[in-house]
Every structure is written in structure tokens, then in C-alpha cells.
């Protein structure tokens, strides 16, 4: 029942965002924007996207080291299958798929793997907030947008401080957060404790300052690569904006997907991408055509490759979607949280 409700909530989110997107869309003008695009150049951008996910697989390998030493080439297919699952299944189940697959392939604890994935996703969120904050604050734009950028940058500083505090003083920060969680209903408080302990289990690697710096650097590099893909597609659509705008698109659109979990991100991604471009004086028709094409190039190749990789492992999506939809329980002892 819970899964069904989440599925229909995701569909509703997509429908609402697509409605907002279509209200300001002139189909004939969009058709004209598509007719003038360079499709060969747009298709050439797709491999760049896969390079970005190789870097994210590398970062995940760093986080997994306290659990198992898994090379990037072994993690990369798991990352792509998880991404495919997020694109075709509701409730962003791809993170659970990743934990399940890496646990099976590498014979490691799925609970510990899930903890590293939670930290992995936190790196993405912090990196995107940092990019949005710095680029917006420094860009030649109005004071309102610069203030938004400064606010995002401050949020990044606060989030990083919490992450570092959890990594280097886990029990102290855990106790502090659990005091806050006690104000929640008992059921939610229990789930919050389980989720926190799972997260703590994934922080072991970054208790090394060197690993923390490398993971942050790889995270930034992966998003710069993805923004480069956005830039190449933008050149194919002759948008005429600078690379800084594509950095803002990458941050804004992907943060929107984190907040509004719709199937494949359809709706929130298109609307966020279009609105950023319109703010930077791109015509609504060109911005809309670009948003549709970009999202298709992000979704379709990964879905195809993900299914091929899944087939090569002699598994089906039905098997993967049989994974429980609740995060695994991890004890503080298993998390290895020590002062």
C-alpha cells in the first residue's frame, strides 16, 4: 500500500510540473527550435555523461574501502543499473538496487553498502548546492539571484560542517541529533535512528582527511563533466549562453529531482531547466526544446545500457524491485562509530 501511494504521488508530481511546463509552451515554436538543432553534436554529448558516472563510481569506491576494496570497473555497472532503476521505477529505488547488487556481487553487507550510498548521495547534494551558490553569487546577474547564491553557499557550509562533525565525532553528533528526533512520533523517531545509523556506517572512509578531500574533488569533477555534456547539447541548440549557466542548470535541475521525486524526474527537470535558461534571456521555445532533448539524452541511453547490463548479469528488473522499500537496519556497533 505504501509503495502504491508513493508511486501515485510521483505521478502526480510529474503531472503538476508538466502542466506548468506546457502552460508556457508554444508547440509550433518548439518544433522550429528542434528543426534547427544539430542532432549529431547533441548525440556526441552522450558519452560525456557516462564519463561523469565513471567518476561517481570512483568516488563510491573510496567510500566503500572500509567495507571492501572494490575497483571502479566492478562498481560502474552497478551505478548504471541503479541509475536505470531510478529512471524506470517509482520512489527512486535505485539506491536500494545498488546496495542489493554490490552486496551480492562483492559478498559484503548490504547494510554497510547502503550506508556508503547514503553518504555518496550526500556528496552530490552538497556539491550541487556549492556549485549553485558560488556560480550564482559570482555571476553577472541581479542582486536577488546573487542573494540566492550566497544563501546556497551558506547552506553548503552548514551541511559540510554537519557531515564533518558526523564523520569525526559520530557518537556525539548522533546523540545530539537523536535528542531532536525524540520530538517526532515514536515510529518516525525509530526510523530516523535506523537511517542515521546506516548513514554513520558509510562515513568511515572520510574520517581520513585525505580521502575526504579526494572524494570532494572527484565529486566536483563529476558534475563539471556532466555540465559539459549540458553545454554541448546547448551548443547543438544554439542557445548562446556561457558555461556558468549550464553549471546552474545542472545544480538547479538535479536539486529539483532530489526534492520532487517523480518517475524519471519527468516534469521537475524540464521545468527547472527551462526556467533557468529563460532567466538568462533564452527564448522560452528554445529553452523548452533544449530541456526536452537534454532530458531524453540523459534518460534513454542509460535505460538501454542499464537493461543490457542487467541482462548480462542474468537478472531481471522484477527481481530487483522485490527489494524491501525500507532502509536496512544498522546498529551503531556495526557502523563502527567511535569517538
Per-residue pLDDT tens, the chain, 339 aa: give them: 545 666 666 667 777 766 777 777 777 778 888 888 999 999 999 999 999 999 999 999 999 998 889 999 999 999 999 999 888 876 678 888 898 899 888 888 888 888 888 888 888 988 988 888 888 877 766 655 666 666 766 777 777 777 777 777 777 777 877 777 777 777 777 777 777 777 777 778 888 888 888 999 999 999 999 999 999 999 999 999 999 999 999 998 898 888 777 777 788 899 889 989 998 889 989 999 999 999 999 999 999 999 999 999 888 777 766 655 445 555 444 444 434
Alpha-carbon distance of 147 to 63, in angstroms, equals 34
| Residue appearing with cell numbers 546552474 | 248
Residue recorded with cell 525500507: 326
Q: How many domains, in total, are found in the chain?
A: 1
> What is the per-residue pLDDT for 142?
60
How high is the pLDDT of residue 158? 77
* Nearest residue to 108 via CA among 64, 152, 76, 77: 64
Place of cell 554490490: 102
Q: Where are the alpha helices (DSSP H) in the chain?
A: 2-23, 27-35, 39-44, 46-64, 72-88, 94-106, 110-138, 143-168, 170-181, 186-201, 209-236, 243-259, 268-279, 284-312, 317-320, 332-335
**What pLDDT sits at residue 147?**
64
Place of cell 556532466: 226
Look at residue 9 in the predicted model and tell me its pLDDT: 63
The model carries a pTM of 0.83
Residue 224 C-alpha from the chain's centroid: 14
Q: Is 326 exposed, middle or buried (0-12, 13-18, 19+ CB in 10 A)?
A: exposed
Q: Which three cell numbers stand for residue 303?
A: 535505460
Range of the domain at 83: 2-335
Q: What is the pLDDT of residue 193?
A: 75
Taking a C-beta distance cutoff of 8 angstroms, is the pair 80, 306 a contact?
yes
Query: Which candidate, 41, 46, 42, 32, places its Cα nearest to that of 284?
Result: 32
C-alpha 248/C-alpha 165 separation (Å) is 28
Amino acid at each position: 500500500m505504501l509503495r502504491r501511494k508513493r508511486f501515485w504521488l510521483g505521478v502526480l508530481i510529474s503531472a503538476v510540473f508538466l502542466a506548468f511546463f506546457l502552460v508556457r509552451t508554444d508547440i509550433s515554436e518548439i518544433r522550429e527550435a528542434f528543426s534547427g538543432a544539430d542532432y549529431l553534436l547533441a548525440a556526441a554529448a552522450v558519452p560525456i555523461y557516462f564519463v561523469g558516472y565513471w567518476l561517481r563510481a570512483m568516488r563510491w569506491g573510496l567510500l566503500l574501502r572500509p567495507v571492501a576494496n572494490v575497483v571502479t570497473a566492478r562498481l560502474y555497472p552497478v551505478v548504471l543499473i541503479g541509475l536505470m532503476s531510478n529512471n524506470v521505477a517509482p520512489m527512486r529505488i535505485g539506491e536500494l538496487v545498488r546496495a542489493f547488487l554490490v552486496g551480492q556481487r562483492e559478498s559484503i553487507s548490504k547494510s554497510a553498502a547502503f550506508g556508503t550510498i547514503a553518504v555518496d548521495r550526500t556528496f552530490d547534494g552538497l556539491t550541487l548546492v556549492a556549485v549553485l551558490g558560488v556560480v550564482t553569487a559570482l555571476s553577472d546577474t541581479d542582486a536577488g539571484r546573487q542573494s540566492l547564491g550566497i544563501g546556497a553557499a551558506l547552506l553548503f557550509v552548514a551541511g559540510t560542517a554537519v557531515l564533518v562533525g558526523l564523520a569525526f565525532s559520530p557518537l556525539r553528533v548522533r546523540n545530539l541529533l537523536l535528542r531532536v528526533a525524540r520530538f517526532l512520533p515514536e515510529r518516525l523517531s525509530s526510523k530516523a535512528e535506523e537511517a542515521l545509523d546506516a548513514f554513520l556506517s558509510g562515513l568511515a572512509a572520510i574520517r581520513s582527511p585525505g580521502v575526504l578531500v579526494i572524494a570532494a574533488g572527484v565529486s566536483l569533477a563529476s558534475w563539471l563533466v556532466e555540465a559539459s555534456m549540458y553545454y554541448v547539447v546547448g551548443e547543438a541548440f544554439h542557445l548562446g549562453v556561457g558555461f556558468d549557466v549550464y553549471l546552474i542548470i545542472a545544480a538547479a535541475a538535479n536539486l529539483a529531482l532530489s526534492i520532487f521525486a517523480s518517475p524519471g524526474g519527468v516534469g521537475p527537470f524540464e521545468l527547472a531547466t527551462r526556467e533557468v535558461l529563460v532567466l538568462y534571456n533564452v527564448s522560452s521555445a528554445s529553452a523548452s526544446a533544449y530541456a526536452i532533448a537534454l532530458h531524453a539524452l540523459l534518460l534513454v541511453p542509460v535505460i538501454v545500457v542499464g537493461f543490457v547490463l542487467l541482462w548480462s548479469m542474468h537478472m531481471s528488473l522484477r527481481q530487483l524491485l522485490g527489494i524491501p522499500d525500507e532502509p536496512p537496519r544498522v546498529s551503531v556497533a556495526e557502523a563502527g562509530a567511535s569517538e
